[in-house]
Every structure is written in C-alpha cells, then in structure tokens.
C-alpha cells in the first residue's frame, strides 16, 4: 500500500510560469517531508524539506507547503526555468528510512 | 571532497548468477541505504544499515543481501539474479541519527538477461 502518492506522472509548464507539484501521504507518523530532483543518469539530489511543525518553507524559487490535516504537500517553483525539467520525488520520514513517491516528470517549455 | 560512488555504472548479467553492486562513501556517514528505481514504482527501499554490523530489510528485500563490515561500504548482493531484478540501483548515505538529507550515488543500471 502506497504511503506516499504522487498522482500526476507528468506536468508541462511554460517557462516563467508557476509549476505546482503535489504529493499526498497516508501515514500519520511521518514528521518530515522532502523533495528530491532527479536528472537522467544521475542520482536524486535534495531540493527542499519541511518539518511537520511548519506549514511553509521557502528557498529561492522553491516553496513547499504542508497541509497536515489533509495529509498533503505541494512544491511550487516560481518562475519555472528550462533547467528545472527533471523528475521530482516527494519523500517522507517518521523515524524510519525515507519513503518515496513514484515521481512527477516536469517539463518546462521555453 | 567527500563523495558516494557506485560501481559498476552499468552491468549485464545472466539469470541465476550472483552479482554484487558496490557502494563506497567518504562522508563518514553511519547510515547507508539501497533503493531501486523502476518505471511506475519510484524509489523502493531494499536494505539499509545504521552502522557497522547492522543491517535491516526494506520493502523489497527478497533476493538481495547486504553486509556492513566498515563505515564506508555497503555492498548489495543479488544471490541468484532474476529478470525482475533488472533495474537502476541507488545507494545513499546520511549522518548518524538523521533519517533525512540523504546523499545519493549516481546509480548502477543492472540488466538481467
């Protein structure tokens, strides 16, 4: 049973617009959430994270929002750039190894 | 600079053969993990270790084993390779007591024919 769900396998956005990637989780014990970015033929790299005691965390063009009551988090990228084209994985931890979603492939079109 | 390296980058093997994938990190991290990435499944945990002589099974551990004899290395062994084990394998590490902030290797693409 999937504990971390990314229901959109792919997303296309025009350069300069906002990209919104969504993630849902089912395990109430998760208390830390992360987004990883992955380019082809490379390992995933850490992008941004948020603790369950917060509802928002910003880092430059990237913002993660957490809605604990809905068990939902989202990653906003503003403005989107062609170099942002990659697969984005949502991950969650609750004193256990990270559990990852299936990923969303983001394509930013120039 | 500290790093985490996986070898080989690509491997083709035959069904039934034993295969070992190497993972070496110079971060001095106690925690090390093996994941596999498959289309439609994302990253799934195979085995993990929280220190020397410690190993634990993950979500998809059947047919795989690991051993941790030092801090730097966590080799992953496929006891008898099967076509279902064709995948991209990623090793990761993280500092002691922290279950986030993983640093990943570049991956090993394994094909079982």
Cα–Cα distance for residue pair B23/A33, rounded to 1 Å: 25
Cα–Cα distance for residue pair A92/A52, rounded to 1 Å: 10
Q: Which residues 49-78 in chain A show a CB within 8 A of chain B? A: 49
Cross-chain residue pair A100–B42, CB shorter than 8 Å: yes
Q: What is the mean pLDDT of residues A99-109?
A: 97
Q: What is the pLDDT of residues B23-40, one digit of tens each?
A: 999 999 999 999 999 988
User: Do the Cβ atoms of A28 and A41 come closer than 8 Å?
Assistant: no
Confidence (pLDDT) at B39: 87
In the Cβ-directed half-sphere of B95, how many Cα atoms lie within 13 Å? 3
The b/e string for B3-12 (b: 16+ C-beta within 10 A; e otherwise) is ebebeeeebe
Residue in chain B nearest A2 by alpha carbon: B41
For A98, the closest of B40, B41, B102 (CB atoms) is B102
Q: What is the pLDDT of residues A8-42, one digit of tens each?
A: 999 999 999 999 999 999 999 999 999 999 999 99
Tell whether B40 lies on the interface with A, counting CB pairs under 8 A.
yes
Confidence (pLDDT) at B98: 65
In the predicted model, is pLDDT for residue B3 greater than 70? yes
Which residue's entry shows tokens 């992953």?
A: B76
Residue in chain A nearest B103 by alpha carbon: A45
Q: Quick one: tokens of B31?
A: 């925690």
Percent of chain A with pLDDT over 90: 95
Q: What is the mean pLDDT of residues B98-108?
A: 86
Which residue's entry shows tokens 């080799």?
A: B75
Q: What is the pLDDT of residues B42-100, one digit of tens each?
A: 999 999 999 999 999 999 999 999 999 999 999 999 999 999 999 999 999 999 876 66
DSSP annotation of A84 reads G
* Inter-chain Cβ pairs, chain A and chain B, closer than 8 A: 54
User: Do the Cβ atoms of A48 and A62 come closer than 8 Å?
Assistant: yes
């Amino acid at each position: 049973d999937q504990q971390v769900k990314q229901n959109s396998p792919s997303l296309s956005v025009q350069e300069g617009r906002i990209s919104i990637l969504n993630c849902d989780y089912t395990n109430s014990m998760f208390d830390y959430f992360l987004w990883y970015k992955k380019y082809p033929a490379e390992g995933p790299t850490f992008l941004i994270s948020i603790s369950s005691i917060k509802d928002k965390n910003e880092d430059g063009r990237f913002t993660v929002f957490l809605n604990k009551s809905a068990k939902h988090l989202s990653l906003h990228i503003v403005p989107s750039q062609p170099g942002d084209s990659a697969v984005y994985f949502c991950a969650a931890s609750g004193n256990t190894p990270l559990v990852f979603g299936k990923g969303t492939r983001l394509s930013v079109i120039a | 600079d500290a790093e985490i390296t996986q070898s080989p980058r690509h491997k083709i093997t035959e069904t039934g053969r034993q295969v070992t994938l190497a993972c070496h990190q110079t971060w001095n991290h106690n925690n090390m993990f093996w994941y596999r990435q498959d289309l439609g499944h994302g990253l799934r945990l195979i085995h993990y270790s929280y220190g020397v002589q410690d190993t634990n099974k993950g979500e998809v551990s059947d047919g795989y084993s690991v051993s941790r004899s030092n801090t730097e290395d966590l080799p992953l062994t496929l006891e008898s390779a099967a076509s279902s084990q064709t995948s991209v394998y990623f090793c990761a590490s993280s500092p002691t007591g922290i279950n986030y902030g993983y640093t990943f290797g570049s991956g090993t693409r394994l094909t079982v024919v």
